[in-house]
Amino acid sequence: MKDASPATAPETFYLKDYKPFGFEVESVELIFRLAPEATRVLSKIRFVPREGAADPRFFLHGEELELISAQIDGEPVAPRLIDGGLECDVPSEPFTWESEVQINPAANTALEGLYMSNGMYCTQCEAEGFRKITFYPDRPDVMSTFKVRIEGTEPVMLSNGNPGDSGAGFAEWHDPWPKPAYLFALVAGELVNHPDRFTTASGKDVELNIWVRPGDETKCAFGMEALKKSMTWDEEVYGREYDLDVFNIVAVDDFNMGAMENKGLNIFNSSCVLASPETSTDMNFERIEAIIAHEYFHNWTGNRITCRDWFQLCLKEGLTVYRDAQFTADMRSEPVKRISDVIDLRARQFPEDGGPLAHPPRPEEFQEINNFYTATVYEKGAEVIGMLKRLVGDEAYYKALDLYFDRHDGQACTIEDWLEVFEDTTGRDMAQFKRWYSDAGTPRLKVAEEYDGETFTLTFQQSTAPTPGQDIKEPRVIPIAVGLLNDAGEEVVPTTVLEMTEAEQSFTFEGLSERPVPSILREFSAPVVLERETSAAERTFLLAHDTDPFNRWEAGRALAREARLAMITEGAAPDAAYLEALTSLVRDDALDPAFRALVLSPPSQSEIAQALHEAGTTPDPAAIHDAAETFSQTLAQAMADSLPRLYAATTVDGPYVPDAEGAGKRALNSAILGLLSRIDGGEAAAKQYEAADNMTLQLSALACLLRIEKGADQSAAFFEQWKDDRLVMDKWFGLQVSMARPEAAADVARSLCDHALFDMKNPNRFRAVMGALAGHHAGFHHASGAGYALLAEKLIALDALNPQTTARMCAAFQTWKRYDDDRQGKVRVELERILATEGLSRDTNEMVSRILN
Ligand code: PHE
Ligand code: ZN
């Protein structure tokens, strides 16, 4: 019963058209009679007409529902079933709507609404999935309390809020906090729990549970600790307590996203909660801790205060990402977290902002809201909050947040409401700052510097290229954190935040007896591209001496990029001075190993392609790949003498502990192993593989071996060892593709799609293979076009099952206009092939159309 193909142009929704719903929902009571292919959902909803409503029409959303019966105040009615829902004539006084519908969870492969995953019932309602469960005003500004009764034979049956009565064949739940339907959740199945308790600051005792499939209960302890840390942190830093008697987390295997913040019943992709040293890497542990925190923090930023409409998505997502980043920085290392986030922002958000999918953090139109859960809404949305905090200062920031929670608790809000609490607490006018929410595109910031023997002047120019639908960009408010250093690397001017508001603006520093070395955009104080012409010598100086760790790393990154560009465009050898700087930094035991690992990890090939494109050169993926290989090989040879000693010195002894310190050491150790295996034929990696008692070491050894084409035996052994563990097998599938030679990547991915353990219906598995192909720059963009063709073929097949995941993965094509005509031609053929598919989903149709334009 999938939506029919958009025969006519699909409907576009606009922010400017917002109208409140004509009715308030006072209460919702739901009864679920579970059956895999024929679940019945009975609803009883109390509606109160709104005085003077702009739109008095009684329209309830509903999709893929079979209406069994409908009543108003106990009398049967005959609603008109229309596209996307129903209409009905209703009394002008408050009334009770009742309906019974039938749905088919077993047939639901889109994983939206009520569906089955491994025999277990579960739901996903954000953004617009509740309308696949029952007829309802499925919009975030309609908030109500929910009472839920689940009838079934499942041993565990959960919903939002606090538990009520339960007995043989039923369980009742009551959520006293008014919420929009997108936060509704239900889970039922054979589950076991990992229980714990938490006492809130005000002394409220809360029961905590992580629910998993039998066998997985040994993988819950880390997530539970992360949850308790998050609860404490939100009390201490934001003064926010938990507000129900129970907090449940459930792990499901089939899930489109990472996790979901349903009130009191968070549902997680099992990859984002299950952890054990044997099956999870350091990176997994860190990500799990961050996602548990993220979903928990949504209880206040998202649930207690929600969004008026989906255009305001970054109101909850940007703020919650910002909060989880603060949490990770506090739990682990602040500079390391910042550097990793910037790497991620540049890899995912900058290409989006600079291509056909560019949109503002608060979009003004969409066809399918699921296509706007993007790096721009999430990560740039968080950057915007970081800038706000930098501009107003910490004290004012927390004061504004207190006011936000106070003023808007229980409401569905807008970006205007959010900015107003800053205006009211600081007296600042936020009109210009608001452009960060309304304008797409990454500003470029040019710097010129001048010194007259006493005064040092920095002159900045900002400009933003046109983006789809936005030709002209007004100047934005840009906080530029600057510090000045002397020749000895001492700070002569400590970090100062310059507030740029004009298209061009100068800032002066007086009383300097020597020309200083400026360190600009410290901590990456704004999501912009800094264009600064500097000598390699100055970058090398900053790499060695900058007192701001972010900019220290940034100087190294710029050198790495320039070294590769010179290799590609001028046929230069890897820059000797840079190799030397890198070597001495890696050997510097006084530096945090995690930081050294970051300095050592090369810029991605996609980043180099982007840099070439910006410099006016058409990137050649094969040349970029060769330069990367040559560079690493040369570095390995230059460091040959010290690599075995460094490898030994960075090896972590003792039992595995997934903390930041150990993870940092292991990251450095594995980067060194990568270099070492280029010169020792894989000997050290093979030994590490043999001895590994945790997944971090096992996987890094396997990756090193596969990269030098020596890992066939280990790969087979790995498969035998882990073939029954879905999450570990995802790693195995992905690694085959990402370590393949460019010309082989598409073939490897194709044969993995034919593997007995490949499963189109499991988004994790699909992403493991096809996501790895899309991320293999030289493989995906191989001149044969095989990468493009395979991805298109698989996306077409997946679209019939799961439009949401298909549409998200179309973004792999968003950078296509960077490349040569031949490649562009090949991509165009594939995009047009997808678009011509009969019955193509609205989701994929929108994405491909935008990419083609
Ligand atoms: N709201 C979820 C989060 O931020 C993400 C999500 C969106 C999950 C849509 C499922 C569907 O964590
Ligand atoms: Zn979120």
- 627-658 pLDDT tens trace: 999 999 999 999 999 999 999 999 999 999 99
User: Is 353 exposed, middle or buried (CB count within 10 Å of its CB: 0-12, 13-18, 19+)?
Assistant: buried
Residue 621 parent element (H or E)? helix 621-638
19 and 54 Cβ atoms separated by less than 8 Å: yes
Ligand 1 pocket check for 317: Cβ under 6 Å = yes
Helices (H), 777-837: 777-780, 786-799, 803-809, 821-835
Among 678, 682, 570, 668, which Cα is nearest to 630's?
A: 678
Cα dihedral sign, 631-820-827-439: positive
> How are beta strands 246-252 and 205-212 bridged, if at all?
parallel
User: Which residue's CA is the nearest one to ligand 1's atom 3?
Assistant: 260
Among 672, 734, 752, which Cα is nearest to 704's?
A: 672
581 and 540 Cβ atoms separated by less than 8 Å: yes
Among 345, 366, 341, which Cα is nearest to 354's?
A: 345
| Alpha carbons 456 and 450: distance in angstroms, whole number | 6
**C-alpha distances in Å from residue 733, one per residue of 647, 728, 729, 753:** 28, 9, 6, 9
Low-confidence ranges of the chain (pLDDT < 50): 1-6
Ligand 1 pocket check for 419: Cβ under 6 Å = no
Ligand 1 pocket check for 379: Cβ under 6 Å = no
User: Is 117 exposed, middle or buried (CB count within 10 Å of its CB: 0-12, 13-18, 19+)?
Assistant: buried
Alpha-carbon 565 to chain mean position = 29
User: Which residue's CA is the nearest one to ligand 1's atom 2?
Assistant: 260
Ligand 1 pocket check for 804: Cβ under 6 Å = no
Q: What is the CA radius of gyration of the chain?
A: 27
Give the pLDDT score at 8: 64
Give the pLDDT score at 54: 87
Give the pLDDT score at 9: 77
Residue 258 DSSP symbol? S
CA of 803 to the centre of ligand 2 (A): 20
The catalytically annotated residue of 98, 126, 295, 383 is 295
CA of 242 to the centre of ligand 2 (A): 17
Ligand 1 pocket check for 819: Cβ under 6 Å = no
Residue 776 DSSP symbol? -
Q: Does pTM top 0.95 for this prediction?
A: yes
- Please choose from 373, 764, 843 the residue to mutate so as to test ligand 1's pocket, defined by most ligand atoms within 8 A of CB: 373
As beta bridge partners, residue 459 has 448, 506
352 and 814 Cβ atoms separated by less than 8 Å: yes
194: alpha, beta or left? (left if phi > 0; alpha if psi -120 to 50): beta
User: Which residue's CA is the nearest one to ligand 1's atom 11?
Assistant: 126
**C-alpha distances in Å from residue 217, one per residue of 214, 694, 722, 796:** 7, 18, 18, 37
CA of 257 to the centre of ligand 1 (A): 6
As beta bridge partners, residue 13 has 366
CA of 359 to the centre of ligand 1 (A): 19
The tens digit of pLDDT for each residue in 717-741 reads 999 999 999 999 999 999 999 999 9
**C-alpha distances in Å from residue 531, one per residue of 338, 448, 462:** 20, 9, 10
Kindly state the greatest CA–CA separation across the chain. 89
CA of 284 to the centre of ligand 2 (A): 18
Angle between helices 821-835 and 786-799 in degrees, nearest 10: 10
| Alpha carbons 227 and 129: distance in angstroms, whole number | 26
Ligand 1 atom nearest residue 378's Cα: 4
- Please choose from 182, 184, 252, 257 the residue to mutate so as to test ligand 1's pocket, defined by most ligand atoms within 8 A of CB: 257
As beta bridge partners, residue 115 has 122
Rounded to 5 degrees, what are φ and ψ at 470?
A: -135, 95
The tens digit of pLDDT for each residue in 226-235 reads 999 999 999 9
User: Which residue's CA is the nearest one to ligand 1's atom 7?
Assistant: 126
Question: Which residues neighbour 375 within 8 Å (Cβ) at sequence distance 6 or greater?
Answer: 345, 348, 349, 352
Rounded to 5 degrees, what are φ and ψ at 627?
A: -65, -40
Among 95, 122, 98, which Cα is nearest to 108's?
A: 122
CA of 530 to the centre of ligand 2 (A): 29
- Please choose from 261, 295, 301, 805 the residue to mutate so as to test ligand 1's pocket, defined by most ligand atoms within 8 A of CB: 261
Copy the structure tokens of residue 638.
Answer: 């230059």
Give the pLDDT score at 7: 52
| Alpha carbons 399 and 394: distance in angstroms, whole number | 9
The tens digit of pLDDT for each residue in 318-357 reads 999 999 999 999 999 999 999 999 999 999 999 999 999 9
Nearest ligand to residue 301 Cα: 2
Interface predicted TM-score (ipTM) of this complex, two decimals: 0.99
Count other Cβ atoms within 10 Å, centred on residue 730: 21
**C-alpha distances in Å from residue 713, one per residue of 706, 718, 749:** 10, 8, 19
Q: Which amino acid is at 388?
A: L
Question: Which residues neighbour 820 within 8 Å (Cβ) at sequence distance 6 or greater?
Answer: 618, 620
| Alpha carbons 292 and 510: distance in angstroms, whole number | 48
353: alpha, beta or left? (left if phi > 0; alpha if psi -120 to 50): alpha
What percentage of the chain exceeds 90 in pLDDT?
A: 98
Strands in 219-305 per DSSP E = 246-252, 259-260, 265-269
Count other Cβ atoms within 10 Å, centred on residue 399: 17
First to last CA, the chain: 30
User: Which residue's CA is the nearest one to ligand 1's atom 5?
Assistant: 260
Ligand 1 pocket check for 746: Cβ under 6 Å = no
Copy the structure tokens of residue 151.
Answer: 């009838």
| Alpha carbons 454 and 534: distance in angstroms, whole number | 21
Ligand 1 pocket check for 378: Cβ under 6 Å = no
Cis peptide bond prior to 127, omega within 30° of 0: yes
Give the pLDDT score at 129: 98
CA of 268 to the centre of ligand 2 (A): 12
The tens digit of pLDDT for each residue in 256-267 reads 999 999 999 999
Number of C-alpha atoms within 13 angstroms, CB side, residue 755? 21
As beta bridge partners, residue 506 has 459
Pseudo-torsion of CA 103, 104, 110, 114, nearest 10°?
60
Among 147, 173, 180, 144, which Cα is nearest to 159's?
A: 173
Give the pLDDT score at 1: 39
Ligand 1 atom nearest residue 370's Cα: 9
Ligand 1 pocket check for 845: Cβ under 6 Å = no
Ligand 1 pocket check for 294: Cβ under 6 Å = yes
CA of 327 to the centre of ligand 2 (A): 14
Ligand 1 atom nearest residue 294's Cα: 12
CA of 8 to the centre of ligand 2 (A): 33
User: Which residue's CA is the nearest one to ligand 1's atom 1?
Assistant: 260
Cα dihedral sign, 176-179-181-183: negative
Ligand 1 pocket check for 260: Cβ under 6 Å = yes
Ligand 1 pocket check for 307: Cβ under 6 Å = no
Count other Cβ atoms within 10 Å, centred on residue 112: 25
To the query of whether residue 295 is one of the catalytic residues in this protein, the response is yes
Ligand 1 pocket check for 126: Cβ under 6 Å = yes
Give the pLDDT score at 387: 98
362 and 317 Cβ atoms separated by less than 8 Å: no
Give the pLDDT score at 4: 45
Ligand 1 pocket check for 257: Cβ under 6 Å = yes
Helices (H), 571-618: 576-587, 593-600, 605-614
Nearest ligand to residue 370 Cα: 1
3-state secondary structure of 198: strand
Nearest ligand to residue 292 Cα: 1
3-state secondary structure of 459: strand
